[in-house]
Structures are given as structure tokens and as C-alpha cells.
Amino acid sequence: MFNQSSEAQECCTFYCQSCGDVVIKDRKLLRVLPLPTENWGALVGEWCCHPDPFANKPLHPRENDCFIGDSFFLVNLRSNLGQEPKANTKVICKRCKVLLGETISSETTKFYMTEIIIQLSERNFPIIPRSQFIQSVIAQCLVELSSARSTFRFTIQGQDGKVYILLWILNSDSLVIESLRHSKNMKKFPLLEDALKADSSSAQNAIKILYQPCLKSRNEELASSWESDISIHALTLPSATCLELLLILSRSNASLPQSLRQMNSFQVAFLKM
């Protein structure tokens, strides 16, 4: 909806994606702007012939602003809470207790894209299976970042800084045809039973990736080398969502023929758009 300028100035409602609880109601967004890269401050000196005009001036949204980062939204919540929120505190859904984001300052709150759905207030809350929503959001983030920054390797880390998954994009224009309704592999993943409710026999756009899990000190040396590589981009998500994504990748990998599940010590999976 942010790509449609005519709708960007309408009243929007922010919902918890997991349970549909209203987080922000009827917020009129006058400005929806993309944030620069995380290293934008260091590059200012290369472009300016005078002292840095942005020194010590963080980019914080005003009341009717929404700033878009790699995997998060920045909004001003002070008017909704009736008081200034405390900085560096978690934002938890009041109904289902899911981590939605965190406060950056007394005025700015970060919401993770994987936890929030933003709709025009006149529309109803869309019920989307959790696994389907996570796949779509992560796949679109990866495609946009790989195109904008010419990077194809990513680390998926929790909000605590711990790396959970290493991802390497192979193809961003894949097409997947499968029937989950009759898949024996679904029995191995009871937490993803919501996918059975959807008819997935039609073709879907997807990205093909290589991945390595980093739980319980697995691939610790490789993860350390990726973290120190400036060409590899890090995506930060709630820790629980990182585990959900890993489960989705494992399910996708298990649905492939045995001969196609690995490539150069990495596991192969698809994320549907």
C-alpha cells in the first residue's frame, strides 16, 4: 500500500499479524519515506565539502511519519500512549504477548515487518497464515536488498544480536508448484499446520536460496567470517521469528527430492513470494 501515493495519506491501522489486535488505530500518514543504509552517516563526509550538517542528528519520525528500514518501520507513538514511552524497551502485543518491536527513543518506536500488518482503516484485518506471511515478507526484503545493494548473502539475527541463519540467494525468479494438502513431509512439522488450510497446488513465485542453520554453535566459524564480511548484510528479526523462519526453510528443504536438498554443504530451500 505504501507504493500507492494516493493511499499513503489515508488513515491507517497497525495490527498485530499473529492475533489481529490493534496496535495503532487511525493514524494518518503524511510522509512514508525509506531510510538510508545503516552506514549513511559515514558516507556524508565523502559527499559534503563542509562540516557534516547531520552530525548527532538521528532520523526520527514525526507524528504523521512512517520511516521504512530493511525489516522494520519507525513511527512516533507518543500521541497514542498519552505519555512518552521509555527508551530501549520491548513492545509486546497486549493480547498474544508476541514481541512486536522496541522503543528507540522517547518518541520513536520500531516495529518489525514480520510482526505488523498495516491496512487502510476502512478495510478489515486480513487473515493470513503465519508461515505464508513470514515467507512473503522475508522474500520481498531479500529481493529488494539484493537488487539495491548488489549483495546476495545475508545473516538472519535475533534482536539480541545472535545469528540464527546464513542465507545465500541463488535465484529470485523461481516458480514453485506443490500440493501441501497431500504432502507427507507436513506431518514432520506440526507447527505449520495452518499451511494445510490453503490450497497450494497452484504455481507461486519464489526465491531459491542456500541456507545454513547456526543453532547450538553449528557453523560457528562460518557465521563469524560472514559477520566480519562487509559485503554481507544482516537482517534483524525477533528471535522467535528467526526460529519460525528456520522451521519454514527446513520444511521446504524436506519437500525437495533427496538429490536436490544440498549444494556445496549448504541446504537448499524456497521462499514463496
Give the tens place of pLDDT for each residue, 114-148: 999 999 888 888 889 999 999 999 999 999 999 88
Check if the beta carbon of residue 110 is closer than 8 Å to that of residue 58.
no
Beta strands in the chain (DSSP E): 11-16, 22-28, 31-34, 65-68, 72-76, 90-92, 99-103, 108-112, 116-120, 153-158, 163-176, 204-213, 233-237, 262-263, 266-272
DSSP secondary structure of 154-220:
EEEEETTS-EEEEEEEEEEEEEE---GGG-GGGGG-GGGGGGGGS---S-EEEEEEEEEE-GGGTTH
Q: Reply yes or no on whether the pLDDT at 87 is more than 80.
A: no
Q: How confident is the model at residue 5 (pLDDT cuts 50, 70, 90)?
A: very low
What is the amino acid identity at position 195?
A
High-pLDDT (> 70) share of the chain, %? 79
Residue 219: CB atoms within 10 A of its CB come to 18
C-alpha 169/C-alpha 143 separation (Å) is 9
What is the amino acid identity at position 234?
A
What is the amino acid identity at position 160?
D
Q: What is the mean pLDDT of residues 20-36?
A: 90
Q: Reply yes or no on whether the pLDDT at 266 is more than 50.
A: yes
Give the tens place of pLDDT for each residue, 204-236: 899 999 999 998 888 999 999 999 998 899 999
Q: What is the mean pLDDT of residues 242-265?
A: 94
- Residue identified by cell 520513536 is 108
Q: Which residues pair with 157 in a beta bridge?
A: 163, 236
Report the mean per-residue pLDDT for the chain.
84
Q: How confident is the model at residue 238 (pLDDT cuts 50, 70, 90)?
A: very high
Q: What is the mean pLDDT of residues 71-78?
A: 87
C-alpha 179/C-alpha 202 separation (Å) is 8
If we measure between CA atoms, which residue out of 57, 36, 58, 111 comes closest to residue 80?
Answer: 111
Q: Cell triple for residue 74?
A: 519507525
Check if the beta carbon of residue 118 is closer than 8 Å to that of residue 4.
no
Give the tens place of pLDDT for each residue, 149-201: 888 999 999 998 899 999 999 998 888 886 655 455 555 544 444 554 544 45
Residue 69: CB atoms within 10 A of its CB come to 18
Q: Give the pLDDT of residue 4.
A: 45
Q: Give the pLDDT of residue 201.
A: 55
Q: Reply yes or no on whether the pLDDT at 66 is more than 50.
A: yes
